[in-house]
Amino acid sequence: MSNAVLLEVDSLSKRFGGIVALNNVSLRINEGEIVGIIGPNGAGKTTLVNCVTGIYKPDSGKVIFLGEDITGKPPHVIAVKGIARTWQKIRPFYNMSVIEAVTAGALLRTKDVLRAREEATEVLEFIGFPRSKFEMLGKNITLIEHKLVDLARAIATKPKLLFLDEVVAGLRPHEVDVIADVVKKINREMKITLGVIEHVMRFVMNISDRIVVLHEGRLLTHGTPAEVARDPLVVEAYLGTKPV
Amino acid sequence: MTQVNSRNIFSIVLPSLIVVLAGATIPFLVGFNQYYVLLALQSVIMASIALAWNIIGGYAGQLDLASFAYIGLGGILATMLMIEHNITPWLGMFLGAGVSAALAFIIGFPLFRFGIKGVWYALSTAALVVILHEASIMILGPFDYYIPFVEGWYYIRFRTWENLYYFSLAVLAFIISLNLYISRSKLGYYLKAIREDEVAAEAVGINVRKYKLLALVIYASILGFIGYLYIVSQRTFSYNTFSGPQSVYVAIIGIVGGLGSVSGVFSAALILKIVEEYLRGYLGGVLPGLHLLLFGTLLIVVGILRPEGLSSLTDTLTRKIKVKVLRWYT
Amino acid sequence: MLPSPGLLFQSVLDGIFLGFLYSLIALGLSLVFGVMGIINFAHGDFIMLGSYLVWILANSLRSDPSLMSIATVPLFFVMGAAIYTAIIRPVLGKEPLIQIAVTVGVGYVLQNLALMMFRAEPRAVQTTYLNFYLNLGLVSVHVAKLISALLSLFIVLGVHYLLTKTWVGLAIRATAYDREVASLMGINVGKVFLLVFSLGIALTGLAASLWMTFGQADPYIGSSFGLLTWVIIALGGLGGVSGLLASSVIVGVIQSLTMTLVSPTVSLAIPYVVFIIVLWFRPQGLFGKG
């Protein structure tokens, strides 16, 4: 039952001026898992993902993916290596249609545009996006539709590891459940490993195999959802007081 | 599968074919009146320039204000080669394309490498035109150069304007097809993604710098190529060929037509050229530059009220025509 | 063929004076860019507009151009407010290319308006009282340029004082830093934008009156000033007043020296070559904070 280590983050640090966003963070993500990454605001969750995916260059430490050192490589190279992500602040392709946006993702692995478009169609259908809305422009779709398209666009690049950055932020409870089902499906059927940054506890505790807790740029603790939920350190980090 | 492929070739080649056929009738329709044939020639050349701009501006989303830097460089090179060394523009135009492409690469490589975009990119391109403008004053002197009268296909220059017009029409057809081809190709998807959101584009594996540079070089090559045609249609060249205001004019056509819309940009080029000619003809003596004033205002209005420009109109029209043609075909 | 040290020194001095005037122009632009994130491509063309206005007023009233600032500054402030409301505010949320394109359009309109009304010949004011030289041994100081430089410096420092020591200035800086947070703290961001843009345009009105005490107006000085200002901002970054002043003076001196040592033509092109080089190697400018 030992799964291969997909991603290894080794003593990663990143500061912005006077603020230390990441302070010697180390963690591992194994193949096939869904790892939840939680922590109060400012804990460094998004900075971590940005460092792994090449948007920031870490000040020190290493990022090793499938045994290869990818520290500081630019985002498009990271995507080719097999890491994809979705966006906390949505980044739609406003003037492209849904199918065009996802095709742009599929073109990473498939040179032929027609075949890429077919793949894009398959991905969109897999995550349950209504076919009738394929031609709608990015500027005209709803928030939950954006999230689905964002997911599809990322998955179309056929990643081995996918980071979801607060994917259910701003969604209504039943929409959260829709995303939860889709995410589980992606993990199981497409064999994509997931790192899920989240604030919405219900969602992340539900889908994660393991949880990693960050606080003020440091790794606080990690374990199963049940373990983490009971951990007094975690409660204190979120509430600022020791539990009674 | 093959059926869909042939439909693609159909939709890439057919529009240019229609433009060529329709355009070819114009000299006959105006009874070979040289004033109108020249006007048609200049409109076709302007449309070609604007559609080249569409690749860097419409698809890649970069506000490039240096079109006449490339047109001037390639065109003056080809023209001088013809005048001084009797080298045929059939060769000269390709050399012009090469030189302009090289300039674009020299400028673009560092600019994109350092992530320069938005207004700094626009300013850099504006600065490029000024630099070439001043440099050409030093090299060419403050004189107007007239193209000596030579005739024949060797020089692509004739006693009347029709032959040059047909040639330019063919070039326009190529550029239209190129635009349509790019639009449906991987390059087109990638450029549009870059235009929409560079960060998101990079995250799906798009090498933003490489593709921007590619778009820039393609655009500059086309302009370097047709530079000679432009100069011949203007009958003179000088340091003023490197014109900043004219470069802005090209961008205006590209935006008013609608970023990325081939039909929109094509229509805008024709319409604006005709309006310009009308205003210049009737009010030119009294109010020079009125048409430019109008176009500047148009750009402001379009930007505020209707950023998609003419494209919503022309795209709907072309779709209706496409449907009718397909129905007739099947 | 090297010019005399006196001539060189003269050139440098002229360049410094010119540089201070440039800093006044660059200040308006940098404020607008820093606070609103909007790139006013037409900034230089407002100076051109102001120059013609000053030319008309000064000639008809037979008075010194710098006095015309009494009229141009308030007028330009109001005009700035109008342009902000009608043209800038509607495009604030739109994509950057459209924003830039709209200001390009404004510049184009102004340029061609001037071309239509005044044709291309340069116009100068006849009745400037300060158009004489003060002979100080080695150098002659052109009094008009000296006064313009001093006034510009005074205003630039004044605006700096406004920004750093007053409540209004604090509001402006807060908005520049983070407009969401600023509005959450009760600052009316829309009013700040309006104020800053109008101030930026008013400064061009002032710069125009100062310019006309020794310069000329033609439809294309807008492009020159505009691009030069951007060179200054590229060099100086958006850091602070000292960077702005330093890079303005550097640009002024480079231009002046090139004009004296090489030729006027090259002096027009050199700043842009410098611009492109600076953009390549130091996108944050020579003094900026990266």
What SS3 string covers chain B? CHHHHHHHHHHHHHHHHHHHHHHHCHHHHCCCCHHHHHHHHHHHHHHHHHHHHHHHHHHCCCCCCCHHHHHHHHHHHHHHHHHHHCCCHHHHHHHHHHHHHHHHHHHHHHHHHCCCCHHHHHHHHHHHHHHHHHHHHHHHCCCCEECCCCCECCCCECCCCHHHHHHHHHHHHHHHHHHHHHHHCHHHHHHHHHHHCHHHHHHCCCCHHHHHHHHHHHHHHHHHHHHHHHHHHHCEECHHHCCHHHHHHHHHHHHHHCCCCHHHHHHHHHHHHHHHHHHHHHHCCCCCCHHHHHHHHHHHHHHHHCCCCCHHHHHHHHHHHHHHHHHHHC
Phi, psi dihedrals of residue A165, rounded to the nearest 5°: -100, 100
By C-alpha distance, the chain B residue nearest A103 is B189
The string of pLDDT tens digits covering residues A114-141 is 999 999 999 999 999 999 999 999 999 9
Please tell me which residue, A101 or C230, carries the higher pLDDT value.
A101
Whether the predicted interface score ipTM is above 0.85: yes
Please tell me which residue, B326 or A25, carries the higher pLDDT value.
A25
pLDDT at C290: 35
**Tell me, what CATH number does C136's domain have?**
1.10.3470
Residues C29 and C46: their CA atoms lie apart, in Å, by 11
Please tell me the pTM assigned to this model: 0.90
Residues B43 and B285: their CA atoms lie apart, in Å, by 22
Please tell me which residue, B322 or C251, carries the higher pLDDT value.
C251
Residues C199 and C31: their CA atoms lie apart, in Å, by 9
pLDDT at B217: 98
End-to-end CA distance of chain B: 18
Residues C235 and C251: their CA atoms lie apart, in Å, by 9
Q: Is residue C288 part of a domain?
A: no
* B30 pLDDT higher than 80: yes
* C285 pLDDT higher than 60: no
Q: Which amino acid is at A169?
A: A
Residues B318 and B321: their CA atoms lie apart, in Å, by 5
- The region of weakest confidence among A57-66, B192-201, B258-267, C270-279 is C270-279
CB-based contact C223:C94 (threshold 8 Å): no
The count of domains in chain C is 1
Which string of b and e fits A141-169 if b means at least 16 CB within 10 Å?
beebbbbbbbbbbbbbbbbbbbbbbbbbb
Least CB-CB distance to B123: which of C99, C105, C227?
Answer: C227
Question: Residue C209 corresponds to which tokens in the numbers above?
Answer: 């009156």
Average pLDDT score, chain A: 91
Question: Residue A110 corresponds to which tokens in the numbers above?
Answer: 């498939």
- The region of weakest confidence among B201-205, B271-275, C69-73, C258-262 is C258-262
pLDDT-based confidence at residue B182 (cuts at 50, 70, 90): very high
Q: Which residues pair with C139 in a beta bridge?
A: C136
Angle, helices B162-184/B262-283, rounded to nearest 10 degrees: 150
The string of pLDDT tens digits covering residues C141-192 is 788 888 889 989 999 999 888 888 888 888 888 888 777 788 888 788 888 8
Residues B255 and B267: their CA atoms lie apart, in Å, by 12
Pairing state between β A5-16 and C123-124: unpaired
CB-based contact B233:B44 (threshold 8 Å): no
Q: Is residue C66 part of a domain?
A: yes
By C-alpha distance, the chain B residue nearest C224 is B130
* B4 pLDDT higher than 50: no
* C20 pLDDT higher than 90: yes
Question: Residue A184 corresponds to which tokens in the numbers above?
Answer: 């589980």
Nearest CA to A50 out of A17, A87, A91, A10 is that of A87
Q: How many CB atoms lie within 10 A of CB C176?
A: 19
Residues A231 and A222: their CA atoms lie apart, in Å, by 10
By C-alpha distance, the chain C residue nearest B301 is C102
Mutation site for C-interface testing, chosen from B129, B130, B199 by largest number of C Cβ within 10 Å = B130
By C-alpha distance, the chain A residue nearest B209 is A76
Q: How many CB atoms lie within 10 A of CB B220?
A: 32
Residues B44 and B38: their CA atoms lie apart, in Å, by 10
* A1 pLDDT higher than 50: no
Q: 3-class SS at C141?
A: strand
Kindly determine whether residue A103 and residue B189, on different chains, have CB atoms separated by under 8 Å. yes
The string of pLDDT tens digits covering residues A29-78 is 999 999 999 988 878 899 999 999 999 999 999 999 999 999 999 999 99
Residues C187 and C194: their CA atoms lie apart, in Å, by 13
Is some CB atom of chain B closer than 8 A to the CB atom of A96? yes
Least CB-CB distance to B203: which of A75, A94, A100?
Answer: A75
Kindly determine whether residue C91 and residue B304, on different chains, have CB atoms separated by under 8 Å. yes
Give Cα A112 distance to the centre of its chain: 28
Q: Is residue C31 part of a domain?
A: yes
Is some CB atom of chain A closer than 8 A to the CB atom of B1? yes
- Give the residue-averaged pLDDT of B51-63: 96
pLDDT at C168: 83
pLDDT at B1: 34
pLDDT-based confidence at residue C282 (cuts at 50, 70, 90): low
CA distance B243 to chain C (A): 12
pLDDT at B141: 87
Q: Of all helices (H) and strands (E), which one includes residue A188? A: helix A173-189
Q: Which residues pair with B237 in a beta bridge?
A: B145
Q: Is residue C287 part of a domain?
A: no
Question: Residue C46 corresponds to which tokens in the numbers above?
Answer: 């407002």
H-type alpha helices, chain C: 5-36, 43-61, 69-83, 96-118, 143-165, 167-177, 179-184, 189-211, 221-236, 241-261, 264-281
pLDDT-based confidence at residue C271 (cuts at 50, 70, 90): confident
Least CB-CB distance to C272: which of B65, B110, B130?
Answer: B130
Cβ within 8 Å of residue B23, ≥6 positions away: B40, B44, B169, B172
Q: Is residue C235 part of a domain?
A: yes
* B and C: number of Cβ contacts within 8 A: 136
Q: Is residue C87 part of a domain?
A: yes
The owner of tokens 């990441």 is A22
Nearest CA to A101 out of C233, B190, B258 is that of B190
The string of pLDDT tens digits covering residues C78-100 is 999 999 999 999 988 788 888 88
Q: Which amino acid is at C287?
A: F
Q: Which residues of B touch A57 (CB under 8 A)?
A: none
DSSP state of C88: I
Kindly determine whether residue B304 and residue C102, on different chains, have CB atoms separated by under 8 Å. yes
Average pLDDT score, chain B: 91
Chains touching chain A, criterion 3+ CB pairs below 8 Å: B
Residues C163 and C159: their CA atoms lie apart, in Å, by 6
Fold exhibited by the domain A5-93+160-239? Rossmann fold (3.40.50)
pLDDT at C99: 87
* B102 pLDDT higher than 80: yes
* B298 pLDDT higher than 80: yes
**Tell me, what CATH number does B214's domain have?**
1.10.3470
* A18 pLDDT higher than 70: yes
Average pLDDT score, chain C: 84
pLDDT at C138: 66
Residues A194 and A163: their CA atoms lie apart, in Å, by 6
Kindly list the distances between the CA atom of residue C156 and the CA atoms of A87, A233, C1, C164, C185, in Å, as whole numbers in the listed order: 42, 54, 39, 12, 28
Boundaries of domain holding B197: 2-329
pLDDT-based confidence at residue B223 (cuts at 50, 70, 90): very high
Q: Which amino acid is at B200?
A: A
Residues C27 and C238: their CA atoms lie apart, in Å, by 10
Q: Of all helices (H) and strands (E), which one includes residue A123? A: helix A113-126
* C289 pLDDT higher than 60: no
pLDDT at C239: 62
Nearest CA to B123 out of C33, C80, C46, C254 is that of C33
Of A11-15, C7-11, C125-129, the range with the highest mean pLDDT is A11-15
As a dihedral over the C-alpha atoms of residue A222, residue A227, residue A228, residue A234, rounded to 10 degrees, the angle is -110
Q: Is residue C286 part of a domain?
A: no
Residues A184 and A225: their CA atoms lie apart, in Å, by 16
Please tell me which residue, C172 or A95, carries the higher pLDDT value.
A95
Mutation site for A-interface testing, chosen from B9, B114, B191, B196 by largest number of A Cβ within 10 Å = B196
Domain boundaries, chain A: 5-93+160-239
CA distance B251 to chain A (A): 19
pLDDT at C69: 83
Is some CB atom of chain A closer than 8 A to the CB atom of B187? no
Using the Cα atoms of residue B40, residue B270, residue B122 and residue B200 in order, give the sign of their dihedral: negative
pLDDT at C128: 66
Boundaries of domain holding C73: 5-281
pLDDT at A200: 84
CB-based contact C173:C30 (threshold 8 Å): no
Cβ within 8 Å of residue A70, ≥6 positions away: A54, A63, A64, A77, A78, A81, A83
- Give the residue-averaged pLDDT of C231-236: 82
pLDDT at A169: 86
pLDDT at A93: 95
As a residue count, chain C comes to 290
By C-alpha distance, the chain C residue nearest B125 is C276
- The region of weakest confidence among A195-199, B117-121, B279-283, C106-110 is B279-283
Mutation site for B-interface testing, chosen from C112, C229, C277 by largest number of B Cβ within 10 Å = C112
Q: Of all helices (H) and strands (E), which one includes residue A195? A: strand A193-197
pLDDT at C2: 67
pLDDT-based confidence at residue B165 (cuts at 50, 70, 90): very high
Q: Which residues of C touch B105 (CB under 8 A)?
A: none
pLDDT at C166: 87
- Give the residue-averaged pLDDT of C248-254: 90
Mutation site for B-interface testing, chosen from A57, A80, A107 by largest number of B Cβ within 10 Å = A107
Q: Of all helices (H) and strands (E), which one includes residue C133? A: strand C133-136
* C238 pLDDT higher than 80: no
Is some CB atom of chain B closer than 8 A to the CB atom of C238? no
Q: Is residue C132 part of a domain?
A: yes
The string of pLDDT tens digits covering residues B65-96 is 999 999 999 999 999 999 999 999 999 999 99
